[in-house]
Amino acid sequence: MLVQAVFEGQMRPLISVALALEYEAVLMRPEHFAVSGFDSGEAMKIVTAFCFRGETVHIAHRLRPQLVDPDDEFILETAYHGKADCIVTFNRRDFHSAPKRFGIDTLSPSEALRKLRNR
């Protein structure tokens, strides 16, 4: 899952402490090591790259509750406080219409890629 904003015509990930910790937790799952062939050091390099390349977002206040899955609330909050254009996710179902209330699109990765190519 990525939260993205457009800077100078390019999509750039937004990163918050909660989102960085989520990326780390997900990438450290044994099933992801098995599929990707990565080890923990390589997984941490990916997280570090997101933190380095991403636009840091400070969460000034919470918006909760907004989403079907309370475990995804921090993603919407990162998008909102980072003034994101979109949330890119395979899990669009859990975001339903809540991001739209804040002017944020929810896109699949393929939709985001198409949008980026058309700019």
- Comparing CA positions, the residue from 5, 2, 1 lying closest to residue 83 is 5
CB 5 within 8 A of CB 105: no
Q: How confident is the model at residue 66 (pLDDT cuts 50, 70, 90)?
A: very high
Q: How confident is the model at residue 46 (pLDDT cuts 50, 70, 90)?
A: very high
Domains of the chain, by residue range, sit at 2-117
User: pLDDT at residue 7 above 80?
Assistant: no
Q: What is the pTM of this model?
A: 0.86
User: pLDDT at residue 9 above 70?
Assistant: no
Q: How confident is the model at residue 2 (pLDDT cuts 50, 70, 90)?
A: low
Q: Two tokens at 50?
A: 């997101």
- Comparing CA positions, the residue from 56, 26, 58 lying closest to residue 44 is 26
Q: How confident is the model at residue 78 (pLDDT cuts 50, 70, 90)?
A: very high
Q: What is the CATH number of domain 2-117?
A: 3.40.50
Q: How confident is the model at residue 59 (pLDDT cuts 50, 70, 90)?
A: very high
The pLDDT of 73-90, averaged and rounded, is 93
User: pLDDT at residue 1 above 80?
Assistant: no
